Structure 1
Amino acid sequence: MSKKLASKIKGALVASTLALTAGTAYAADMPKIGVDLTTLTSPFWTSYAKYLDEEAKAQGVELLAPINSEFDTSKQITGIQNLINLGANGIIFSPFESAAAGTVLKAGEKAGVPVVAVDVAPTAGPVAIVVRADNLAYGRKACEYIGQNVEEGPVVQIMGDQASINGRDRGVGFRECLKQFPNLTLLEIPTKAWSGEDAAAGLDALLNATPDLKAIYMHAGGVFLAPTLQTLKRKGLLKPAGEDGHIVIVSNDGIPQEFDAIRKGEIDATVSQPADLYAKYGVQYVKEAIGGKTFAPGPTDHDSTIVEVAPGVLEDQLAAPLVTKDNVDDKAFWGNQL
């Protein structure tokens, strides 16, 4: 081997070593983010998990293996403590029980680990910020659509767990708005832990007692859509929009399955929760909080507003549009991008 060739090979090896060393150093400096996923049985949450992975890569953070608490508060608390013990520099989580979230927030504060809540707001505690849409508005939008399309008769809301502020807010928003439509009679189906089985059983019993039901509002299509449609179909009540006997149905999530149901005329509308933006700004905020940034009420640079919803609890309230047959094919909706 000539000295000249040997010199070139040596130089290439040194350059490769430096590149690998630099890459290793960069990876070591990347913030480590621990994530709790509420459930992986809902298409909404599996989509959110996908977007989280994409955003972590785009924003230069490392995601530790996510935990899946499956609507179990004790499992959520234990899992997040384990993520902190594994070296998480920041936590992104969605509280199942808003009041119990303080345990997670205090654990993060004690360890010097900032916590960002996504989709569900804690009632109190040292949270860096909450990334969420206005859930009272979800209920109002569903009510207004039903009120404009149903003249009179009984309507039901299939409710999320009332231990969650999301379940409570959607219910209150719908209930208060319905007072504007005195010809509509409100019925409610409670569920525990957003259970699709509870939804199906409750709807089955309600239809036996109220066969002239005119409309349904589902608090979460990701868990309630399939059991609701299956129950209606089994009873011969799943009639397409525009046909006599059609029950007006408004859902909430913005998943592809809801969009397909709108196209088929099985349901009429859904409120699109921004799963993609929850992931984007959840990662952005926790990364900034790790760097020492704090947040304040006011307009953001992404067409939303940060508001103080409780003492010390700031919430970036993202937009959540109503999707109907008129705009269901809009490619801007994340439900059309998967």
Structure 2
Amino acid sequence: MKPRSSRIAATAATLVVLATLATACNRGSDSSTAAGAGKPKIAIDLPRADSDFWNSYAQYVKSDVSSQGLNTLPVSNSSNDVTKLVANVQVFENTGAKAVVMAPQDTGAIASTLDALAAKKIPVVSVDTRPDKGNVFMVVRADNKAYGTKACEFLGKQLDGKGKVAEFQGALDSINGRDRSEAFASCMKSEFPGIQVIELATDWKGDVASAKLQSTLAANPDLNGIYMQAGGVFLQPTLALLQQKGVLKPVGQSGHIAIVSNDGIPAEFDAIRKGDIDATISQPADLYAKYALFYAEAAAEGKTFQAGPTDHQSTVITLPNGLEDQLPAPLVTKDNVDDKTLWGNNVGH
């Protein structure tokens, strides 16, 4: 299907022209520019600052706001607290936001805020997370079920279909945690019934994952696989614990615990190169920022889209409460870890 009133490609071309005309840069927390002064105000809330992935996303947002010459309100950070997010949105409403970019970490608790924004005709672009209810103009996200399935298929093959795998589940009140967990469990059950999955709820917290892994290792010294649903928060505490316990063996060595992760941060790539972990699935932090801002400005300007393929190797799907642009998220192993097109090879550590 084609976009309804304006093709994504055509709109993207328009933004390229606008970006070319923009000459001023971001300065300070209020990133409105002379070039963007005539444009609608876009509000941006960053979800947290305790994850390498989200800190990289924040860098890309800052860069893209500048390069696209956007008119943005001072950027806020809700620190993984839905109460703060609601308060930040109220500030956005009071300061003239014409579109809001957010990444609600609790996807069930944001519905009333989305309804309030819809009543005021302020469109919302949700990044990485899909709100359970409440209208959204566009969700910019990768296919999280594919994350769980890819991780399962990779680990299953690495373990020859046998063994025990600890799974660090993200918060199950988050659509991402649910999607990854459900897809991983379904794939393991159908394709690798000889592998026992030990599900460890973590609420996306690295210290919780580490404590639960320590208990799991004590009870299951034959553990031979780990699936980390977010390398940005789980990688370092996991490697530190495995090192402390003397079980951090490199890939190919007897006793190696096969590890697959999600995120695609530079630290994961380094761990793949060292042989500490086997693979990760690269969440496109760069594309999240680029297309979140693209759709936010398009929404503020009254443009609309429809389900179907895009010109940036993704597919827009229809949701009960809006649309979702499912961006590509490749599996990264030792075979392609040095690929320069991966965002994790283009940001600082």
Alignment of 1:1-338 (within 5 A): 26-151=35-160, 152-179=162-189, 180-192=191-203, 194-309=204-319, 311-338=320-347
Relative to total residues, which structure has the larger helix share, 1 or 2? 1
Corresponding residue of 1:3: none
1:133–1:273 Cα contact (<8 Å) kept? yes
What is the number of residues matched between the two proteins?
316
C-alpha distance in 1, partners of 2:69/2:112? 29
Structure 1: 5+ residue runs without aligned partners?
A: 1-18
Which SS does the other structure have where 2:317 is aligned?
Answer: strand
AA at the equivalent of 1:285:
Y
Please state how far the C-alpha of 1:103 moved relative to its aligned partner: 2.2
Corresponding residue of 2:17: none
1:124–1:313 Cα contact (<8 Å) kept? no
Please state how far the C-alpha of 1:125 moved relative to its aligned partner: 1.5
Please state how far the C-alpha of 1:195 moved relative to its aligned partner: 0.8
Please state how far the C-alpha of 1:104 moved relative to its aligned partner: 2.5
2:35–2:70 Cα contact (<8 Å) kept? no
Please state how far the C-alpha of 1:25 moved relative to its aligned partner: 6.5
2:33–2:69 Cα contact (<8 Å) kept? no
- Identity over aligned residues, as a percent? 52
**Could you give the per-residue CA deviations for residues 139-182 of structure 1, whole angstroms, max 9, x where no partner exists?**
00000000111031111110101110000001011111101112
1:261–1:267 Cα contact (<8 Å) kept? yes
- Provide the TM-score with structure 2 as the length reference: 0.87
C-alpha distance in 1, partners of 2:273/2:199? 27
**Could you give the per-residue CA deviations for residues 58-91 of structure 1, whole angstroms, max 9, x where no partner exists?**
2221332222212211111111211221222211
What is the aligned-residue RMSD (CA, Å)?
1.7
AA at the equivalent of 2:196:
T
Structure 2: 5+ residue runs without aligned partners?
A: 1-22, 25-31
Higher Cα Rg, which structure:
1
**Could you give the per-residue CA deviations for residues 286-315 of structure 1, whole angstroms, max 9, x where no partner exists?**
100001012211111111111113x23211
1:39–1:71 Cα contact (<8 Å) kept? yes
AA at the equivalent of 1:81:
Q
C-alpha distance in 1, partners of 2:178/2:33? 47
- Provide the TM-score with structure 1 as the length reference: 0.90
Which SS does the other structure have where 1:35 is aligned?
Answer: strand
